Each structure stands twice: as C-alpha cells, then as structure tokens.
Amino acid sequence: MSSDPTTAQPQQAGEPWWNEALRVAIDAAHAGANELMARCGNAVVREKSPRDLVTDADTASQEAIRTLVGRAFPEFNFIGEEDTAQRNGFAAPQQADRPCWVVDPLDGTANYVHRLQNFAVSIALIQNGRPVVGVVLDPVYEECFTVVRGQGSRCDEAPIRVSGCDEIEQALIAFSFSANVRRDSPEVAQFTALLERAQAVRRLGSAALNLCYVAAGRLDGYWAPNVKPWDIAAGALLVEEAGGILTGVSGRPFNVWTASCLAAATGSLHEQMRQATSMNSPNR
C-alpha cells in the first residue's frame, strides 16, 4: 500500500487503500454468506436477549469475515455484532485514529431463522468517525451492494441512485423497531404517523437492506430510531453516495456510533418524514 492506513486522513476519491479495502470486504462478505447459506434451515438458534435471536451461523459468518479482513489489515480495529463484549453495551473504539471494521455477519437473523428471504451480510470500514467503504451482500438474491466514499454506490457493479421521490404521500417507506418494543414506545407512535401519511410503510427485517433499497430507488425512505452501528454503517454510506439525504431521526447530523437514522431520497421527503414523526422522536 502507498500509505499507512492507521494514520492517513480521508483523502480524495480513489485513495488506493480504500479500494483495496473494498476488494477485501467483498471477499469477506462472500465468505460470511457461504457460512450462512451452508447452515440455512438447520442453524442452532438461541436468544441472546428476549426476542433477539442469534445462531451458530451468525458466529461462523463473523469469524470467516474477521479472518479475511484481519489477515489483510491486521492493524485495524474490528467490531462485530456477535463479539461477547458488545452484547453488554456498545462503545465506540478507544483507538479512534485507527480505521475500524464494523460488521454485521447476519443482518435479519429472525428472517433467516424463519427462512424469510430478506437478510444480508454487512461490512463497513470507519475512518475518523465516517464510513469510507461499505459492502452489503444479499446471499439469497445474490446482489452485492458496494460503495467507496467519493466514488458512488453500486449494485453488482452497476451505478445506483435514489428514487427522487419528494412527496410523502407517494413514498414507500421502511421502518425498523427495536427487539423489545412496547405499545407505549415512541417508535409505535412514529410508525403510526408515517403509516397515516405515506403511500405505504414496510417492516422488512433487515436495516442494511433497507438502506440499500433506498440507495437503489426501490424504497423512498427509511426510519430507524433504535439500531446499532453494525446494522447501518455500510448502508448509510450507500445512501449518501447514491444522492440521498441521511441524518439522525431528529434531523441532527448522522453519527454512525449513535446509530439512529432517517434516510430519504430527497430533502423535501426527508423534511416531511421528520415533521410527521417529530412529536414522538427521541432527541438524537
């Protein structure tokens, strides 16, 4: 590599090691997906918390990914959803000057367990608090969404763009609930507010794919008040590079470590979604 990635600052599109990191991440995503598909239908399932499932496929996928990215970039930090340390609370890496892989080895575990075809492997590389590389691989439909900051978003090498929808009444919007949502949660009121205004609202079960679908123009917006960095890190960059608008749910600048997001195809739609849900939005 031409520069030391542990100290380099984000540079212009085409930074050599970013592109090398993308190639490694693609290989790692396929390795993780192979583990998922090999166990699909017979994975060992348990609850890591009430209504929050994990399988042996999650852990096998994560280890396959960790092996490949660790071999290529041993000096980078690594945060994976299934790391034991992360189950008791998430904290941003202390060595913030080092690039960090943020990995969801199986986004959409409940779908996977029930054999619903909406789950993915998500791999992002964070530098100085910003995603700079992202890969989301759907192993069922064999779609690979890829992005490098400053180089645009792609699906199977073809450029993708957001839909351009600017009216909430014409918008198809996805929504994510936390695993232990209650009927009196603000999330429920926010969902109802969007349901009343939007053309249609969907809960598809994979935050990573929701953001990919916004980036590709299949969805017009996505509301996620309670997610984790590994759920959305890669997809967030895909939306930005595809021309979409991305913030926290309150409209504040997006922070990958805080991990709430409001994604929309256009600024007008983003503002309408924010206003529709603002009475019940968490302050972040």
Q: What is the pLDDT of residue 42?
A: 77
- Please report the pLDDT score of residue 284 as a whole number: 44
Residue 2 in domain = no
DSSP 169: G
Predicted local distance difference test score (pLDDT) of residue 15? 66
**Are both 20 and 154 inside the same structural domain?**
yes
Residue 106 lies in a domain: yes
**Domain-located, residue 3:** no
Residue 40: its pLDDT value, please?
Answer: 85
Amino acid present at 275: Q
Domain that holds residue 131: 16-158
Torsion of CA 187, 80, 134, 9, to 10 degrees: 110
In percent, the amount of the chain with pLDDT more than 90 equals 70
Q: Strand, helix or coil at 63?
A: helix
- Residue 167: CB atoms within 10 A of its CB come to 14
pTM tops 0.95, yes or no:
no
User: For residues 226-247, b (16+ Cβ closer than 10 Å) or e, as one string?
Assistant: bbbbbbbbbbbbbbbbbbbbbb
DSSP letter (8 states) at residue 43? -
The span from the CA of 244 to the CA of 237, in Å, is 10
Predicted local confidence at residue 10, as pLDDT = 39
Residues 181, 129, single domain; the answer is no
Same domain, 176 and 268: yes
Of 158, 184, 207, the last residue of a domain is: 158
In the predicted structure, residue 212 carries a pLDDT above the cut 50 = yes
Pairing assessment for the beta strands 172-175 and 200-202 based on DSSP bridges: parallel
Domains in the chain, number: 2
> Given this model, what pLDDT does residue 3 score?
42
Same domain, 124 and 185: no
pLDDT value of residue 7? 43
Choose the weakest-confidence range: 57-66, 89-98, 139-148, 170-179. 89-98
Q: Give the pLDDT score at 242.
A: 98
Domain boundary among 158, 180, 208: 158
- Percentage of the chain surpassing pLDDT 70? 85
CA 237 to each of CA 26, 83, 132, 146: distance values in angstroms, whole numbers, following the listed order: 15, 23, 7, 9
Measured CA to CA, the distance from residue 87 to residue 172 in angstroms comes to 33
| 276-to-49, 84, 89, 249, 265 alpha-carbon distances in Å | 32, 38, 31, 11, 16
The whole-chain average pLDDT of the chain stands at 87
